[in-house]
Structure 1
Amino acid sequence: MTEIRTLAADDWRIWRELRLAALAEAPGAFGSRLADWQGPGDREERWRARLDLPGACHFAALLADRPAGMAGGVPVPEPDGEGGTAELISMWVDPVARGRGVGDALVRAVVRWASAAGFGTLRLSVMSGNAHAAALYRRHGFVPTGPAGGRLLPDGRREHVMVRTLRAARRDDTGARDG
């Protein structure tokens, strides 16, 4: 069974373990590089500060008490639409935990956080070619906003922005309440 834990600054070691593993395993999926968070960038105060972003919430998924995935939610600086916009960031599931509902549990946690915080929209970016992630997000009510845009990688891939409108106590496709 997947346990979702809300992380605080004191949980920086869990976040560090997951973040470094994510950047090593899926370097093309993130705006940061592994090298940015190693060496001089690998400092306790930096990890704590990441978990202490104002208005943000970060989650770790645990399987059998071992870190298996992560996701975060952050407010978008400029209000966009009714209730403002939040962004789902840093989503990653360890390859050994994929296909076990970990990604679903993390997305639900971020949706619940954003709804409870009063955001009207939740958005995310997914790299072109990442069909599994796009399918996960579609299952949770996210829709593409249009053609790919944003960051262009050297291999020609671009990010696709997807959004979900949030409503209080909205039911997802399985009938479960997630708002």
Structure 2
Amino acid sequence: MLELRTLEADDWPLWRELRLAALADAPYAFGSTLAQWQGAGDREERWRARLSIPGAHDLMALLDGLPVGMASGVPGEGAEYVELISMWVDPAARGKGVGDHLIQAVERWAAERGAKTLRLSVMPDNRTATALYARHGFTDTGEPGDLLLDGVGRERVMAKRLDTVRSPHHGKW
């Protein structure tokens, strides 16, 4: 059974477990590295702060009771958009709808906030993630993303209009 749980700052040990697993599994997929979150970077207050971003919506996916994925929605610079960040699904749980459920939950949350657009950044060579996002209606914005660690390449920025996302507050479930 697939379950999504909203995380709060006190859930930092669960978030830590997932985030470290994600960085170890897919170092190519994130803007930060495992080394940055280990050693001196592995501090409770840092993990709590990550789960305390004002207005954010942090989710953990559980499959048969085991944590297998995560995603966050964070407010953008303006009220018109939000960003999908920290998306990851454990390799053993891929192909089982976990990523779909996480994306849909962040979309619903964003639409309920009144955001018009959901944005994300993805590594340009991460074809699996790009295909997942495209399947959910995200398209390339053509905007230059953040500079990659190599100092040359840039993240790919994708976005999706949210006017088609159904919300229980609008009676369209």
Output the TM-score relative to the length of structure 1.
0.87
Does the 8 Å contact 2:108/2:166 carry over to 1?
A: no
Match of residue 15 from structure 2: 15
1:149 offset after TM fit, Å?
4.1
Distance change (3 Å), C-alpha of 1:118 and 1:147 = closer
Match of residue 89 from structure 2: 93
Does the 8 Å contact 2:117/2:160 carry over to 1?
A: yes
1:170 offset after TM fit, Å?
3.6
Distance in structure 2 (CA, Å) of the matches to 1:16 and 1:144: 30
Pairs within 5 Å for 1:147-166? 149-154=145-150, 157-166=153-162
Distance in structure 2 (CA, Å) of the matches to 1:34 and 1:169: 34
Does the 8 Å contact 1:129/1:157 carry over to 2?
A: no
Q: Deviations over 1:54-87 (max 9, x none)?
A: 011100000111110000011112x2xxx51110
| Unmatched runs of 5 consecutive residues or more in structure 1 | 172-176
Pairs within 5 Å for 1:92-131? 92-131=88-127
Which residue identity is paired with 1:158? R
Match of residue 4 from structure 2: 4
Does the 8 Å contact 1:23/1:33 carry over to 2?
A: yes
Match of residue 134 from structure 2: 138
Match of residue 45 from structure 1: 45
| Unmatched runs of 5 consecutive residues or more in structure 2 | none
When the two structures are aligned, how many residues end up with a matched partner?
A: 169
Aligned-pair identity in percent equals 62
